[in-house]
Amino acid sequence: MKVLIVGSGGREHAIAAAVAKSPKVDKIYCAPGNAGIGQIAECVNIGAMEFDKLVAFAKENAIDLTVVGMDDPLVGGIVDEFEKEGLRVFGPRKNAAILEGSKAFSKDLMKKYNIPTATYENFNSPEEAKEYLETSKYPIVLKADGLALGKGVLICNTKEEAMDGVNELMLDKKFGDAGNTIVIEEFMTGREVSVLSYVDGKTIKIMTSAQDHKRAKDGDQGLNTGGMGTFSPSPFYTEEVDEFCKKYIYQATVDAMASEGREFKGIIFFGLMLTEEGPKVLEYNARFGDPEAQVVLPRMKNDIVEVFEACIDGTLDQIDLQFEDNAAVCVVLASDGYPVAYEKGFEIKGLEQFEDKEGYYVFHAGTKLSDGKIVTNGGRVLGVTAKGADLKEARANAYEATKLIDFENKYMRNDIGKAIDEA
Ligand code: AMP
Ligand code: GLY
């Protein structure tokens, strides 16, 4: 089989590495890819939003399966474009990717189908939003409705902050049209857990759990980022939590989408908050998490191509999804200054030490080839993943492995997985 992967980050590298393990696959392409993906796939210089060019490429090269890693093309309807041409593609159609593409939609869906989530109201007008905020309880949470690179969420401690937040999102349009509508919701407290799942329209199969670290600095300080590290499984995702979510959240979401005429095929990422009242949905994503994929996929035992095909064909009920009984930790190596301003173009040294190092992975996020050398090319540069018999061992292995890699401006958090010690 020939497989095309759409995207260019650490998540797509993790997907490509999983696809490369499938005995069914002869050749992998990635558009646009990066230097690390280029070691296992042929990178194609087409952007993830260039649907016409991607479709033409898939036809010309007789691609058997296209896998879309990123949210933007999914929300923009890339799957519909591929299907129109009779091409096999893994991911939700536009009418289902709205589960991630519109927070107002997902909140209304949860309310209608009694799926536990924070109480909220949606607003199209800044005046009405401000009026609501006059009598709200604080802290409160403001969310841009549309995609905003995970940065469109404002936690406001006071009325003043919330009023400023409305101005930022709806009037200054900090995230463009994503802020035309906003969700204002109750502030919740508790542990956060990410749960990824495969969905074929009817059946849902849950993957192992994970936890992300969104802030730039140790102790969850600093600005929100795309994710500075992850661990899997989460020790807080207990059997009791799993049972609750299976009863009230997972299948309920898949059935709700089907009832709305928006059959969901692909990945549903459940961002959960474990509150005192039980687990509640913080958000849905319609794709693998980044860097959750970098700790979940290395632990998956199945042939991922078989699972993707079962989702497309509606036969996921026949797949026995299995994960290794171990743990994995991913530490992101970033460019100092991320997520604000940083320099790039520095040579990355030490990568060769990971070749064939069992249980260790370097997933490239922002890298490129320059004069035959691999150089830094983004805020998040690499994700170093290591497995271990348990979380503590995996964490020690991952941090030990970060020492093998060097580049100017190398920055990482030193407390990825600290929560493990509190479990
Ligand atoms: P989201 O993109 O919706 O997952 O939000 C990003 C982050 O903001 C989450 O991972 C939480 O840390 C935080 N957050 C979002 N919604 C809430 C909420 N209702 N209460 C508390 N924290 C929240
Ligand atoms: N790690 C969070 C996300 O992928 O949205």
State the Cα–Cα distance between residues 111 and 115, nearest whole angstrom.
6
Residue 423 has pLDDT above 90, yes or no: no
User: What tens digit of pLDDT does each residue of 158-217 get?
Assistant: 999 999 999 999 999 999 999 999 999 999 999 999 999 999 999 999 999 999 999 999
- Rounded average pLDDT over 276-295: 98
Q: What angle do CA 29, 30, 32 make, to 5 degrees?
A: 140
**CA 183 to centroid of ligand 1, rounded, Å:** 12
Q: Looking at residue 151, what is its pLDDT?
A: 79
Closest ligand to the CA of 228: 2
**CA 381 to centroid of ligand 2, rounded, Å:** 16
Residue 345 has pLDDT above 90, yes or no: yes
State the Cα–Cα distance between residues 165 and 161, nearest whole angstrom.
6
Q: For residue 150, what pLDDT band results from cuts at 50, 70 and 90?
A: confident
Residue 111 has pLDDT above 80, yes or no: yes
Whose alpha carbon is nearest atom 7 of ligand 1? 153
Q: For residue 356, what pLDDT band results from cuts at 50, 70 and 90?
A: confident
- Rounded average pLDDT over 382-403: 98
Q: For residue 149, what pLDDT band results from cuts at 50, 70 and 90?
A: confident
- The overall average pLDDT reported for the chain is 97
Among residues 237, 168, 233, the alpha carbon closest in space to that of 394 is found at: 233
- Rounded average pLDDT over 399-403: 98
**CA 323 to centroid of ligand 1, rounded, Å:** 28
- Rounded average pLDDT over 91-117: 98
Total-model pTM: 0.97
Residue 274 has pLDDT above 80, yes or no: yes
DSSP string, 350-411: -GGGGTT-TTEEEEESSEEEETTEEEE-SSEEEEEEEEESSHHHHHHHHHHHHTT-B-TTEE
